[in-house]
Amino acid sequence: MLVPLYPVGLEPCPLIGAYLKLKLHRQQKLLIYSNYIASMDGRISLPNAQGEQVVPASIANKRDWRLYQELAAQADVMLTSARYFRQLAKGCAQDLLPVGQGDYADLLVWRAEQGLKTQADIVIFSRSLAIPLDSLEPYLAQRNIHIFCPETANKDKCKAFQDIGVQLHIAGKEAVQAKEVRQLLEHLNYRSAYMIAGPEVHRTLLIGKQLDRLFLTQYLSLLGQNNFHSITTDAMEACPMTLESMALDQQEGQVFNQFSFCNTSCA
């Protein structure tokens, strides 16, 4: 059971279904949301033996993963990065994109009941188009794959992706811009966009004031180390947030937080 800490006065509730009840896919406007699990000192990833940044095994857990899956189940489209597909091609990244695998098959039924496609479509943010073509092909049978890139993207690379059925969209002049991202997502008729990328894509949405919700699991542990990633990167202006909900998971020792941003187009 989860113990609600905010808003106050709510009764304990089961973990399963805790995020499904939010109906993120039924908002009046396009909703762009992100999700991370972090240690109490802000680490979302540490380097593995190959030097790749990955979620630390000491904080990764099935109960948080259940809620990751529930957020994914409500998505029309999942937003990720070219870096993720490069890691996937090298076999050093977990495949985060399928919904309803293994113990989570109930979410496929839930998506069908909600009138959603079996799997969410995919949007990849990329400036250089350094994405292995082979890494995309397994997803093309069930999903639309879009790449959002700047005007400066290499035209030959653009054609190579278009030749295998990937859709290319210009979302900025020299780099992908968040305002153009929202406009393209709306043009493509998406209602719920789940950002599962790392801190660089997160920062793009934050500085462009186009992120609507942040789901942050705080694992009650300190990890230390200097080589780490947090939920954003580099210099940026402050992004005020409003706490929407907070729940304690006593079984695993973590707190599930939901925040909204008061300076987005959906505010």
Q: What pLDDT, on a 0 to 100 scale, did the predictor assign at position 235?
A: 82
Note the Cα 209 to chain centre separation in Å: 16
**What CATH code is assigned to 3-7+20-261?**
3.40.430.10
Q: How many CA atoms lie within 13 A of 108 on its CB side?
A: 10
pLDDT along the chain (267 residues), means of 10: 97 98 95 98 91 91 97 98 88 83 95 97 96 92 95 95 96 96 97 96 96 98 95 89 97 98 60
pLDDT given at position 264: 55
Q: What is the pLDDT of residue 267?
A: 37
Task: Note if the pTM is more than 0.85.
Answer: yes
pLDDT of residue 266: 41
Residue ranges of domains in the chain: 3-7+20-261
Residue 265: its pLDDT value, please? Answer: 47
CB 151 within 8 A of CB 170: yes
Q: Are the C-beta atoms of 69 and 110 separated by less than 8 Å? A: no
